[in-house]
Structure formats: C-alpha cells, structure tokens
Amino acid sequence: MPLSMVQSPPRAAQELGTVRAEGAANPPAAEEVVGQVRPVRPRVAQAERILEELKAAQARKQASAESDGASSSRRQGQPNLLSPDWIQARLGGAGFSSSTSSSSRSKPSAPRSARTASAGRHILDEEERAIRLTMLEKTGPRYSVESAAAYFRSRQVEVMKRRITVSMPLVSFLTRVVLDYQAGKEEERRPQRAHEFLGIIGELGPAFIKAGQALSSRPDLLPAEYLNELQKLQDRLPPFPTELAFKVIEEELGRPMSEVFEHIEPEPVAAASIGQVYRGVLKTGEKVAVKVQRPNCEEIIAVDIHILRQLSGLLASFLRLLNRELDLRQIIDEFGKLIYEEIDYVKEADNATRFMALFGDLDGIFVPRVFWKHTGRRLLVMEWVEGQRLTSNDLDNRPQLVRTMVQCSLRQMLEEGFFHADPHGGNLLATPDGKLCYLDFGMMSEVNQKQRYGIIEAVIHLVNRDFESLARLYVRLGFIPQEQDLRPIIESLNDALPDVLNASVSELNFKSVIDKLGAVFYKYPFRLPEFYTAILRCLGVLEGLAIQIDPSFRIINDAYPYIAGRLLIDDAPEVQDILEVLLFNQGEPRWDRLENLLESAADSKSYDVTLALNRMVEYILSQRAERLRYKVADDIVDELDELSSDVAKYAAGLLVQQAQLVSKQTGLPLLPPFSFLARSIPSPVETQAMTNAARLLSALRRSQGFEPARLQPAVEKFARNPEGRRILLEVGVNLAERMSSRTIRAIFNLSDDGKRRTGGRTGSR
C-alpha cells in the first residue's frame, strides 16, 4: 500500500493547521511553512520549572493544610495554584489561552472529582495537563473541508495520482455489483462481493481501513454480509521504521529523547494504521507505553477524505443504480470528524484522563495514567500495564473479569454517557492483581441523558416485543422521518424478531438481535446517529468477547437487570414516561410486566428495592397517576381477595389432607370439622395467584437493600397523604366487603365462581 503516496513537506501538517487557523483561501507555499518553528523549546524549560515550583508549592500547601486542618494558603492571599490564569501569568501570557480553552476541541478539563477519585496515584495529572496544554499548539488537527481544498489546490498532481489509485478498484468493484444487480444476482453474489470489498478497503490505507471499521457498524448503510466482512478488518499494518518514529517523538517532545527516556525498545510492540506503540522507561523510572503517530498521518488521511468527497457524486450515481439513495458527502464528513479526533493524541489523552476520573476507582477496574508532561498531538505516553489478554487461557478469574467488563460498560453507557466504543480483545488486559485494564481511548463516544433514556426504552420494548412502541421511539429519536408510514416497519420488526425474541431473556443472543434489527434498518429509510451505532457495536463486541470466554454468556442477562433496576429507581420524568408505556395498556395495569421488572431488577447490584418501592409510592400519589391510581387500587383488591381466598382454601385443604392421613394411619374416623370440610374443600393445589405472589415476594427478598423496616417511611408517607388515605380506605372497605360476601357464600355453600374477577394480574397474562 503506497502509504508514502502523498509525500508532504515535513511541516505539511502544520501547514494544514495554519490554513485551518487562519481560514485563508490561499495556502502559504510549502517553503514558507517549513521555515515556521513552533515556540516549543524555550517554553519546555520554562514550563518545567513552573511545574516544579507548582509541585513544591502543592506539597507545602498540603503540609500546611494537614498541620492546621485548613486551607490557609488561600486566606493568606496565595494564588490558586491550579488556576490556568496563574499558569499563564507565570508563562508571560503571550498568546496562550487558558488550559481549558487552549483546545477548543478538547473535553473540558477532567472534573475535580478526578483528583479525589484517583487521589494519591494521580494527584498531579491535572496540573501537568494544564501546563502541557499551554505548551502545545492551540488546536489539534481539525476536519475542515475548506482548508483541505485550499491545501490540495496547489498539489493537484499528487491528488490526481492518488485519485486514480483509489477510484480504480472502487469503480470497478461497484460496476461488478451493478451488473450483478441488473442480472438479478446481487443478493446471491453478495457474500462474495462483500469479501472482495474487504480486500479492497484493506489495501487502500489508513483512512479507508478506519472508514471500513466505521462502516462495519452501520446497518442502516450496508447489508449484513458487508458488515460481517468489514468487522474482520484488521487495523494492523507493517510497522514504519523506528528512526522515523523516534524523529516524531523528538519533534513532539521538543528536545532529545535521551532527556526524557532512559530507554525505549527498538521494536514496536504493536503497529496499527494510525500509530505504533513502543515500550520504554522514563528517566524518572516509570515503565511506559509510547504511542507514536505515523509520519504525515494527517496528510495521508486528509488527501483520501478529500478524494472521497470528490468522488462522492460518482459513487452516489452507482448507488442510485442499486436503488440506494444516500447523502455520501454528509456520511464522509461525519467520518472525517471522527477520524480527525482519533489522530489527535491530546484528545486521546484527555479521554483517558476523563475515563480514569469516572471509572478508574471502580472495583476491579484499572486505567493507566497519562504522562501529560511528555504527551503531544502525535505522541502519547502512558503508564505501561503488565497484563494478559482477556482471552488468555491462563487466567483463572475470566468469568469475573467478563462480569466486571459488562457492568463497567453499562455504567459507562447508561450512567455517565461516556464510553469506550472499541472494547475489543486487544484493548483490554487482565492485570496480575485480577483487575480489568482498559487501553486505547482513541474511539470514545458520548450519549446525552435523553439518548440514554432512549436506549433504556428501546431495550425494554425489544424485550417485551412491543414493536409499535419501538417504532414510535425511533421516530421520536429522529432515526426515521416523521412522515414515514410505520405499519410496514412494525410488521418487518415483528417478522424479523419473533424467532430471536421467543427465546427467554436469558437465552437472548444480542448479536442475532442486532443482525435482525439491522436488516430492518437497511430496508427502510433509517439514519442512525453515531452514539447509537457505537452502542450497538460496543455491545456486539462485548458479547462476542464474553462468549469466547464463556460460551453460555448472554449480555442481555446482565444488561436487563441493570436496566430494570435503573427504571425502578430513577425518578426522572422520562423514566416515568417509559414506565407508563411499559406498565399500562390504555389505563389497564400490566401486572405481569411489573412483576418481571421487579424480578429482573433483583439480580442487579446497582438497584435498591426500598428506593424503588418509595418511588412507586411517590408515583402513585403524583398528579400524573391521578387517572390510574383507582384502577391500580381495584386491581390490588382483586388480587388480595383472590389470593386470600386461594390461600384459605389451600390451608384448609392441607389441614383436611393431614387429618385424613392421621385417620388412615390410626384407623380412627375423621372428626368434625374435618369430616364436614372434606366434603366441600378440594385437595390443596397452588393457584396462579399464589405462584405469582410467591415469586414476587422472593424477588423482593433477594433484592439489594430489602429491609422491611426501611419501608416504613414510604408507608407513612402514603398513609399521611389525603389521597393515599382515601385509596387505603377504599382498598380496605372493598376487601372487607368481598371477604364477608365470600364467607357468607362459603357458609351457605354457594359457588363464588361468578364473582371471580376477569382483569388484574392473572387475568392480564
């Protein structure tokens, strides 16, 4: 693969950056750019001196705080040592903005909790990050169509050569597919063509490999055969020469490597499309992983995206012949933004720092620390982690590691909304002390609160096979256009999923659900946002990895209890909306679903049943449940009435049975009242109402946080509320009425079959 196809001048990336920063229509000539020197060197010494001062001051501050128990430094008028302003002032302030604004694309600085969360081990990371950012270029590489166009205007010949290399295999491939289509053989030949496509993409270099990987999780764009082939794309390329890597390291450090590293092994431990990783030791003694970007990586990627955009019209006309209408430019631009994030190692370091702050202290999780002081846009220095691959047979705690991995991923996606979107085997290690270590923070994804609720809702509808609600949710989330007729989609979902979902929750294989859903996404005009495809990919990868370790593993087995627990304890209005859709059908309670939810949630560690019951009380008393609560109360009366009658009959039947046994063993006649009861009471059989109640009680008892005493405040709250009192009174009176009428009927031996309710829990099953 001609990686060096576009040989740019040494500072071409900087030039791209210059054009970006200035938004100039005419790019500066390459020679002018080569002459630019970044003001890194003098600042290194200066900033390091400041860092030393800062560390010393920090130590003094801590010591004084420990001795007098107060943060006296502030009171004595000392500056806030962490403030970017202070750092900037010490640097002379020339043209550098504050740490957080110095990179407009960077995530906000790791939250303060980062320091408390990972206290001790990483106390100075944030300060080092702030200092380091003042030394780096203001912004990292940023995807800009205009800047690329301006840059490549003066490099037409190189672009043309690359364009021929790229377009030949792509156009010839698409021609073959169109011919298949016209011959009515496209579906039949799809697996073969998908395989050819994989070969072509793999040969075209980093931008295409990354694009192929991104496409592999886009069921709305490609059929399953292509997705499956593209998922095999190996992000492994032959390593580039170590001398070049060391050159990049020195450029990024702004000084000789020997000033920072005691030693770096000459052979990389891994080489991927964007960079390669070396193992080394810092002068200060720490073992580190040194990730170095391929030389000219930004230009290699920029030219390919530029060419893809140029070819988009032609490619789209091929797709039209296949009856696919796609906005290729928009898709390419989305991809461009993603890949540009990946080639900025400061962004990756930011991700790692943020990830550590959020998850580094969780039980069983390890996140390596970033050495900010030595990290740059093309160089990432991280703590070296000794560990084995998760799939290694030598590990004896693999099932535990899998559970930790799944629980941590769910927490990332559904609680914090910041998740590792590429948790494959190479990015997860098992450490010698039994922890799960995450590596490679280049591909992270974010989900906002609303989207998180959307995911929870989608899983709930899927598990309950409520495809109508699922389709409506997709419209609400903007995956399907508003005007789309939903009936065929609901039908397709129904047709596609019953086989899969007929399995019990514990047998449900997530990959097959994704595949079947994917077929529907492909057939109808779905446009899936990045967060959703990232989640599907992440869950699919997790399940695949987990199954390698434990073939019986089903991700939904761990995910559903977690989601059920979240639903029951979260009091956000969005969650109440989901619960209403789930638990009521046109005002009729669906008790079986509540029961399933409570049962599933019982297996979740992050769920507290007392909290859930309190939430239910609050909900029932709330304004929004006004129309539902009396229906709920009626059903409870039915249920208790039926249950008490069944239990009484069962107990009486049991007594009679025992008496009959004794009479048989002793030869004595059956005495009253047993002789009387034996005529009217059938032998004891556990009824549906009793089974349900037993299941419910057992689920409550096994739930985290179940303590009857803790329920008291909720009960009191209910009883003190006027509406609650009215409901209690109504339940009490109705129940008493039913019971007395039942007793009278029993005494006079009248049948009560006609009185049995038809609705309620058992009735709605």
Ligand X SMILES: Nc1ncnc2c1ncn2[C@@H]1O[C@H](COP(=O)(O)OP(=O)(O)OP(=O)(O)O)[C@@H](O)[C@H]1O
Which of the residues are catalytic? 422
CA–CA dist 312, 325 (Å, integer):
12
Among 12, 297, 343, 439, binds ligand X (CB under 6 A): 439
CA–CA dist 358, 365 (Å, integer):
11
Q: How far apart are the two ends of the chain, measured CA to CA in Å?
A: 61
How many positions of this chain bind ligand X (CB under 6 A)?
A: 19
We find the least distance from the C-beta atom of residue 106 to ligand X, in angstroms, to be 18
Nearer to ligand X, 235 or 635 (CB): 235
Among 9, 364, 417, 426, binds ligand X (CB under 6 A): 426
Using CB under 6 A as the binding rule, whether residue 489 contacts ligand X is answered as no
Joined tokens for residue 376: 């740059």
Instruction: Using the rule CB under 6 A, give the single segment among 118-126, 270-278, 526-534, 586-594 that binds ligand X.
Output: 270-278
Nearer to ligand X, 409 or 427 (CB): 427
| Strands laid side by side in the 388-389 sheet | 365-366, 436-438, 428-430, 388-389
Instruction: Using the rule CB under 6 A, give the single segment among 121-129, 214-222, 265-273, 471-479 that binds ligand X.
Output: 265-273
Instruction: Using the rule CB under 6 A, give the single segment among 75-83, 112-120, 378-386, 516-524 that binds ligand X.
Output: 378-386
Among 160, 183, 269, 685, binds ligand X (CB under 6 A): 269
Give which of 173, 187, 86 is closest to 127, Cα–Cα.
Answer: 86
CA quadruple 177, 179, 184, 189: dihedral sign: negative
Nearer to ligand X, 407 or 427 (CB): 427
Using CB under 6 A as the binding rule, whether residue 277 contacts ligand X is answered as yes
What phi and psi values does residue 370 have, to the nearest 5 degrees?
-90, 135
We find the least distance from the C-beta atom of residue 270 to ligand X, in angstroms, to be 3
Using CB under 6 A as the binding rule, whether residue 382 contacts ligand X is answered as yes
CA–CA dist 747, 571 (Å, integer):
48
Name the DSSP class of 452: H
Q: Which of the residues 280 through 299 are near ligand X (CB under 6 A)?
A: 289, 291
Nearer to ligand X, 346 or 652 (CB): 346
Using CB under 6 A as the binding rule, whether residue 497 contacts ligand X is answered as no
Instruction: Using the rule CB under 6 A, give the single segment among 51-59, 155-163, 383-391, 705-713 that binds ligand X.
Output: 383-391
Coil, helix or strand for 381? strand
Q: H or E element: which one contains 132?
A: helix 125-135
Residues in a beta bridge with 418:
446
* CA distances, 454 to each of 74, 186, 535, 725 (Å): 45, 35, 12, 36
Instruction: Using the rule CB under 6 A, give the single segment among 129-137, 382-390, 467-475, 587-595 that binds ligand X.
Output: 382-390
Among 18, 103, 404, 427, binds ligand X (CB under 6 A): 427
We find the least distance from the C-beta atom of residue 382 to ligand X, in angstroms, to be 4
Among 440, 457, 543, 603, binds ligand X (CB under 6 A): 440
We find the least distance from the C-beta atom of residue 381 to ligand X, in angstroms, to be 9
Joined tokens for residue 135: 């030394």
CA–CA dist 740, 734 (Å, integer):
10
Residues in a beta bridge with 293:
275
We find the least distance from the C-beta atom of residue 258 to ligand X, in angstroms, to be 22
Instruction: Using the rule CB under 6 A, give the single segment among 271-279, 326-334, 680-688, 701-709 that binds ligand X.
Output: 271-279
Query: What is the helix, strand, coil percentage profile of the chain, to 5?
Result: 65, 5, 30
CA–CA dist 191, 188 (Å, integer):
7
Nearer to ligand X, 110 or 477 (CB): 110
Q: How many CA atoms lie within 13 A of 164 on its CB side?
A: 6
We find the least distance from the C-beta atom of residue 342 to ligand X, in angstroms, to be 8
Instruction: Using the rule CB under 6 A, give the single segment among 11-19, 48-56, 268-276, 451-459 that binds ligand X.
Output: 268-276
CA–CA dist 609, 698 (Å, integer):
12
* 366 burial type by CB count under 10 A (0-12 exposed, 13-18 middle, 19+ buried): buried
Q: Which of the residues 223 through 252 are near ligand X (CB under 6 A)?
A: 235
Cβ proximity of 173 and 196 under 8 Å: yes
Residues 6+ apart with CB under 8 A from 215: 221, 222, 226, 227, 230
Q: Nearest 5 degrees, angle CA 735-CA 736-CA 737?
A: 90
Give which of 575, 367, 584 is closest to 466, Cα–Cα.
Answer: 584
We find the least distance from the C-beta atom of residue 423 to ligand X, in angstroms, to be 10
CA–CA dist 224, 230 (Å, integer):
10
We find the least distance from the C-beta atom of residue 291 to ligand X, in angstroms, to be 6
Q: Which of the residues 336 through 375 are near ligand X (CB under 6 A)?
A: 368
Among 209, 272, 343, 559, binds ligand X (CB under 6 A): 272
What is the distance of C-alpha 537 from the center of its chain? 9
Among 212, 239, 275, 724, binds ligand X (CB under 6 A): 275
CA–CA dist 546, 414 (Å, integer):
20
Within 10 Å of residue 360's Cβ, how many Cβ atoms?
Answer: 21
CA–CA dist 163, 2 (Å, integer):
12
We find the least distance from the C-beta atom of residue 424 to ligand X, in angstroms, to be 7
Instruction: Using the rule CB under 6 A, give the single segment among 25-33, 266-274, 317-325, 548-556 that binds ligand X.
Output: 266-274
Q: Which of the residues 81 through 100 are near ligand X (CB under 6 A)?
A: none
We find the least distance from the C-beta atom of residue 700 to ligand X, in angstroms, to be 44
Among 208, 384, 474, 650, binds ligand X (CB under 6 A): 384
Nearer to ligand X, 289 or 444 (CB): 289
* CA distances, 716 to each of 171, 221, 720, 721 (Å): 73, 55, 6, 8
Among 5, 149, 270, 281, binds ligand X (CB under 6 A): 270
Provide the mask over 671-710, with x wherever binding to ligand X is found by CB under 6 A and - wherever it is not: ----------------------------------------
Give which of 238, 369, 336, 345 is closest to 292, Cα–Cα.
Answer: 345
Using CB under 6 A as the binding rule, whether residue 462 contacts ligand X is answered as no
Among 230, 385, 401, 456, binds ligand X (CB under 6 A): 385
Nearer to ligand X, 271 or 612 (CB): 271
Nearer to ligand X, 54 or 357 (CB): 357
Residues in a beta bridge with 263:
281
We find the least distance from the C-beta atom of residue 551 to ligand X, in angstroms, to be 24
We find the least distance from the C-beta atom of residue 234 to ligand X, in angstroms, to be 8
Contact residues toward ligand X (CB under 6 A) are 235, 269-270, 272, 274-275, 277, 289, 291, 368, 382-385, 426-427, 439-440, 442
